[in-house]
Structure 1
Amino acid sequence: MALSKGPQTFPRSEYLRRLAAVKSEMARLDIDALYVSNPANVTYLTGCIVQTSSQGLVVSIHKDEPTFIVRGVDSAAVIYQTFLERDHLITYPENRAVSPDVDHYDAVIDFLHEAGLANRRVGLELNHLPAETAEKFKERLPKARIVNSKKVVSWVRLIKSDLEISIHEGSCRHRRCRNDACDRSDPA
């Protein structure tokens, strides 16, 4: 039985709008690929709320959708929770989560090589990567120009679309109604 998509907080068009804004900032900074490792930024761009330190998203300036790279055990959640098509999901073996020699970052670097991005400008959210991981990217991508892109997605997240504002307003109205009901039922 094939796993279907679950309910999405936002429609596909909203996630594509967000990605377009990120790509616009990437173009301004002359970045060809952006590795998103901050879990909040991954959620913002995909809707995926499964947050582990062993996942990441590669946004390419040349592709409509990003590529989600996750452990095999997390793939069903990514398929269910995100707007992404299955061909934008790459899984890696579970043993990389505990191997002293290779880890999930190697899966990301392998993808960058396979996608022809290993000799381009690659943005990394360096504030969310261990120093030794940043070194691994530099060593395994010697022809790439690594760019500290720690604020690319965070800055885009600050500007809300009309749809985001309406959902936030609806949530606030719901909370106010619930609080008002609690106040009326309080015997004190």
Structure 2
Amino acid sequence: MATANGFGTFTQAEYGQRLAGVKTRMQKAGFDLIVCQDPANMCWLTGYDGWSFYVPQCVLVHLEEDRPIWFGRAQDAKSARLTTGLPETNIVPFSERLVQQPVEHPYDELAQLIRSRGWGKARIGVEMDAHYYTARCHAQLVEGLPDAHFANNHDLVNWARLVKSEAELVLIREAGAICTHAMNRAIEKMRPGVPQNHVIAEIYHAQSMGVPGAGGDYAAICPLMPVGEGTSTPHLTWSDAPLPDSGLTILEIAGVRRRYHAALTRTVHFGKPPQA
């Protein structure tokens, strides 16, 4: 049951099952500890939901710990308290003075935290392909834990997320309904001469409003809408130019419900279609 803030989407029992599955994978991979900086993995493991991934942050999972540990910026610790249900001892903020500090780094304090827990010689799996686990994050962590053994965990948590629970499937189906609604609204808006950004505004409105009983969230991808010759390449967005009297447009969008996405792509032709 969600709270008034929209948090608490899943039960603690479900989070416990997720953690147990991740620990089984850790044992098989030979890790004592994993450092998860992928925002989706952090959310899946704990429920953490804050727009804070632009600074170093992570969730730690240790084989001998009953609950994960959230580590992040001091001003975001309240977000962890609101969204995760973790005990206060498992919410560990780093000093604000370390944000964009050219000499010191937040992961200096993360290394200190790991040492203080007696894990300085642990076998640590890190997310080498996570977008926000930067080269500097890794370098500072390795420097601060010279006796630890580091290895890429090869998307260990991402693979654990692959098979969805029944509660997750409910949200994905709701996201699909939101996506269908947004796509239909967009196609209704698309007429020759209509500015492209007006179509996009319709999409954003529909995505956010959602459908009865299921409000929408922001998407991890903006709407893609290549027009004309732009349809020969996949990842163009939009402009304020009018839609053409003749030619193709491609729409690729997503519907989102509590961070769960369902995507859809459609091709729209203006004017008389060419002969096959």
Normalising by structure 1, what TM-score? Answer: 0.85
- In structure 1, what is the equivalent of residue 114 of structure 2? 112
Instruction: Label 1:141 to 1:133 Cα distance change in 2 as closer, same or farther (>3 A).
Output: same
**Percent of pairs with identical residues:** 26
Pair 1:155-2:134 in alignment: no
**Corresponding position of 2:81:** 79
Deviation, structure 1 residue 133: 2.9
Compute the displacement of 1:87 (Å).
1.6
Q: Which one is further off, 149-158 or 44-53?
A: 44-53
SS at match of 2:64: coil
Give the corresponding residue for 1:32.
32
- The one-letter code matched in structure 1 to 2:85 is F
Question: CA–CA distance in 2 between the matches of 1:172 and 1:99?
Answer: 42
Give the corresponding residue for 2:65. 63
Measured against aligned partners, the alpha-carbon deviations of 1:80-129 in whole angstroms (never above 9, x if no partner) come to 01121222101121001132222111121111101111101011112232
Select the residue among 119, 122, 125 that pairs with 2:124: 122
8 Å contact from structure 1 (residues 71, 92) kept in 2: yes
Q: Distance in 2 between matches of 1:80 and 1:18?
A: 20
1:89-108 aligned within 5 A: 89-108=91-110
Q: Helix, strand or coil: the match of 1:8? A: coil
Normalising by structure 2, we get a TM-score of: 0.59
* SS of equivalent residue, structure 1 residue 57: strand
Is structure 2 residue 139 aligned with structure 1 residue 135? yes
Deviations 1:32-77 (A, max 9, x none): 0101111111111111221323211111111111110111111111
* Aligned-partner Cα distance in 1 for 2:185–2:36: 41
Point out the structure with the larger helix share: 1
* Greater gyration radius: 2
RCO greater where, 1 or 2, for CA within 8 Å and sep 6 or more? 1
Unaligned runs of 5+ in 1: none
Give the match's secondary structure for 2:48.
Answer: coil
Which one-letter code corresponds to 2:65 in the other structure? K
- Give the number of aligned pairs: 182
Tell me the distance in 1 between the aligned counterparts of 2:114 and 2:94. 14
Q: Secondary structure, in 3 states, of the residue corresponding to 1:21?
A: helix
Structure 2 gap segments, 5+ residues each: 192-276
Of residues 21-30 and 124-133 in structure 1, the stretch that sits farther from structure 2 once superposed is 124-133
Counterpart CA distance in 2 for 1:147 and 1:47 is: 26
Partner of 1:43: 43
